[in-house]
Amino acid sequence: MTQEEAISWIADMFNEPAENLTPDTPRDSIPEWDSLGVLTLMAEMDEKFGVVLSDEDTEGMTKVDDLLQTLRQHGKLES
Amino acid sequence: MPLTKTRSAVIKAITSCVPSKYFDNVKDTTEFDIEEVKKVVRMAGVEKRHIADDSICSSDLCISSAKDVMRSLDWSPESIDALIFVTQSPDYFLPSTACLAHRDLGLSANCAAFDVGLGCSGYPYGLWLASMMLQGPGFKRVLLLHGETPTRFANSSDRAVALLFGDGGSATAIETSGTNEGNNDWFFSVHTDGTGYADLIIEGGGFRDRFPADKKSCFVHMNGANIFNFTIKRVPSLVEETLEGAGISKNEIDYFIFHQSNRFIMSHLAKKMDLPKEKLPMTIGEFGSAGGPSVPLTVVNGGLSRPTGKALKLLLLGYGVGLSWGSALVDLSPEAVLNHLVLDTDN
């Protein structure tokens, strides 16, 4: 998956226009990325990539790039 | 593989019971922003919840249910050999709630009665215990009572739990067929991971912290992310090992009855395990998450199609607090009596 594809996937997941998102977009500015959004993210990561996120993983994410880094660490995103 | 097989136990009747007072999450919530509430309702699926007031305990819901099954089966109090009460919301620390039920049902001094302190996994565990008790020559009839009042230990300002919980009770009448012949094999798989004990916990009020300075510690605390991870890790393998141990395919299961934890999580599990939606009844919209009793509530109220002359094969699944999880692969005969009660409360 390329970074562009990943950002498009994140945008779909949190109902945001993809053009609004960059790696530097803070989590706080994405309304749907709240505590319920975290469950959606965890389910999507499990279903799409077979990656189980821990509580620490999700709490440590403060911007889009943190999620991109997690995808990279699991080999799901082209470096 | 920790799979147990029992023979000869039969479910004769199940009655579920909820308090009459109910709460419409969208219409009645004042604690949270309405848009937030709608979002939670959409995701978790909890539209309405039946809630006990301060005068209703799980024992009240279960005893009403037990009286109903005894009446419908014409079981005399003297004929009941054991009463198992599964709950994490007992009336008292002591005596056991089973003893209160024993008194109210007029059971005999020869009846064994005891509590089991399990929550979300309680129904499969309770059926496992009951059917094991019926393997020997002594016991013939067991009443399994399973009830919870989680709304009474949820902090109404904690969004993680306040909109989810409902209260409910149940009674299941189980009898030995008296024979090891025929098709009465039941299968159980039961598990525990105590390292997750703090993921769903009421820290205060027990003997570890008898009179906590912070009263909030007497409410339940849930680490939603850890519980979610536990569920998606444990439930699919639980289903798989039960089916494999029983030597049947998932196509042979008429209904998968999940503990009604959260619609989003149940749907995710169903998708992950490729289970058809029509085999996964949901009652969370009507009753909320009533803990372990949501399993018998769903057997009774889940709209199960029951053709005459054919027993249903049910895979019952409980998972959560403990962390504890278990399955029961059982038959529900067409003769089994299912009933639902609403216990009057002052609305």
Q: With H, G, I as helix, E, B as strand and everything else as coil, classify residue B315.
A: strand
Listed in order, strand segments (DSSP E) in chain B are 3-6, 9-19, 22-24, 48-50, 82-86, 112-116, 141-146, 169-176, 186-192, 200-201, 221-222, 255-258, 312-320, 324-332, 337-343
Q: Residue B284 in contact with residue B260, Cβ under 8 Å? A: yes
B160 contact residues in A (CB cutoff 8 A): 35
Q: Residue B70 in contact with residue B105, Cβ under 8 Å? A: yes
The chain A residue lying nearest B273, using CA atoms, is A47
CATH architecture of A3-73: Orthogonal Bundle (1.10)
A43 contact residues in B (CB cutoff 8 A): 228, 232, 264, 268
* Residue B71 distance to chain A (closest CA, Å): 45
What CA–CA distance (Å, rounded) separates B47 from B30?
A: 15
Q: Where are the domains of chain A?
A: 3-73
Contact B225 A47 (CB under 8 A): no
- Residues of chain B that touch chain A, judged by Cβ-Cβ distance less than 8 Å: 39-40, 43, 159-160, 223-226, 228-229, 232-233, 264-265, 268, 271-272
Contact B268 A38 (CB under 8 A): no
* Residue B88 distance to chain A (closest CA, Å): 26
On the question of pLDDT at B37 being above 90, the answer is no
Number of domains in chain B: 1
Q: Which residues, numbered 15 to 74 in chain A, qualify as contacts with chain B under a Cβ-Cβ cut-off of 8 Å? A: 35-36, 38-40, 42-43, 46-47, 52-55, 58
Q: With H, G, I as helix, E, B as strand and everything else as coil, classify residue B19.
A: strand
On the question of pLDDT at B347 being above 70, the answer is no
Contact B233 A35 (CB under 8 A): no
- Strand B324-332 to strand B186-192: parallel, antiparallel, or no bridges (unpaired)? antiparallel
Predicted pLDDT at B128 = 97
Predicted pLDDT at B223 = 86
Which residue segment(s) compose the domain that B265 sits in?
A: 1-347
Q: Which residue has the higher pLDDT, B229 or B104?
A: B104
DSSP labels, A32-58: T-SHHHHHHHHHHIIIII--PPPHHHH
Cα-to-chain-centroid distance, residue B111? 23
Predicted pLDDT at B1 = 54
pLDDT digits 0-9 by tens, B165-208: 999 999 999 999 876 665 689 999 999 999 999 999 999 999 99
The chain B residue lying nearest A43, using CA atoms, is B268
Predicted pLDDT at A77 = 87
What CA–CA distance (Å, rounded) separates B243 from B272?
A: 16
The whole-model pTM stands at 0.91
On the question of pLDDT at A37 being above 90, the answer is no
Predicted pLDDT at B18 = 97
**ipTM of this complex prediction, to 2 decimal places:** 0.74
pLDDT digits 0-9 by tens, B44-71: 889 999 999 999 999 999 999 999 999 9
**What angle, 0 to 180 degrees and rounded to 10, lies between the N-to-C axes of helices A35-44 and B224-246?**
40
Q: What average pLDDT does this structure show over A3-17?
A: 92
Q: What average pLDDT does this structure show over A25-39?
A: 88
A47 contact residues in B (CB cutoff 8 A): 268, 271-272
**Band (B136; pLDDT cuts 50, 70, 90):** confident
Distances (CA, A) of B73 to B11, B92, B339: 11, 30, 12
Bridge partners, B173 (sequence order):
B13, B143
Choose among B13, B8, B334: nearest CA to B186: B8
What CA–CA distance (Å, rounded) separates B229 from B226?
A: 5
Predicted pLDDT at B137 = 85
On the question of pLDDT at B74 being above 70, the answer is yes
Predicted pLDDT at B346 = 64
pLDDT digits 0-9 by tens, B13-32: 999 999 999 988 888 888 78
Contact A46 B272 (CB under 8 A): yes
Mutate to test the interface with A, among B229, B234, B264, B266 (most CBs of A within 10 A): B229
Q: How many CA atoms lie within 13 A of B305 on its CB side?
A: 6
The chain B residue lying nearest A34, using CA atoms, is B36
pLDDT digits 0-9 by tens, B277-335: 999 999 999 999 999 999 999 999 999 999 999 999 999 999 999 999 999 999 999 99
* Residue B282 distance to chain A (closest CA, Å): 19
pLDDT digits 0-9 by tens, B208-227: 999 999 989 999 998 888 89
A38, A46, A55: residue with CB nearest B232:
A46
* Residue A79 distance to chain B (closest CA, Å): 27
Predicted pLDDT at B236 = 94
Lowest mean pLDDT of A51-55, B112-116, B189-193, B332-336, name the range: A51-55
Predicted pLDDT at B304 = 97
Q: How many CA atoms lie within 13 A of B277 on its CB side?
A: 4
Residues 6+ apart with CB under 8 A from B193: B230, B234, B322, B323, B324
Mutate to test the interface with A, among B268, B269, B273 (most CBs of A within 10 A): B268
Query: Could you tell me what percent of chain B has a pLDDT over 90?
Result: 78
* Residue A43 distance to chain B (closest CA, Å): 7
Q: Residue B122 in contact with residue B86, Cβ under 8 Å? A: yes
**Which amino acid does the sequence have at B260?**
Q
Contact B224 A53 (CB under 8 A): no
CATH number for the domain harbouring residue B248: 3.40.47.10
Cα-to-chain-centroid distance, residue B45? 18
A36, A47, A58: residue with CB nearest B43:
A36
**Which amino acid does the sequence have at B16?**
S
Contact A35 B224 (CB under 8 A): yes
Q: What average pLDDT does this structure show over A60-67?
A: 93
* Residue B32 distance to chain A (closest CA, Å): 14
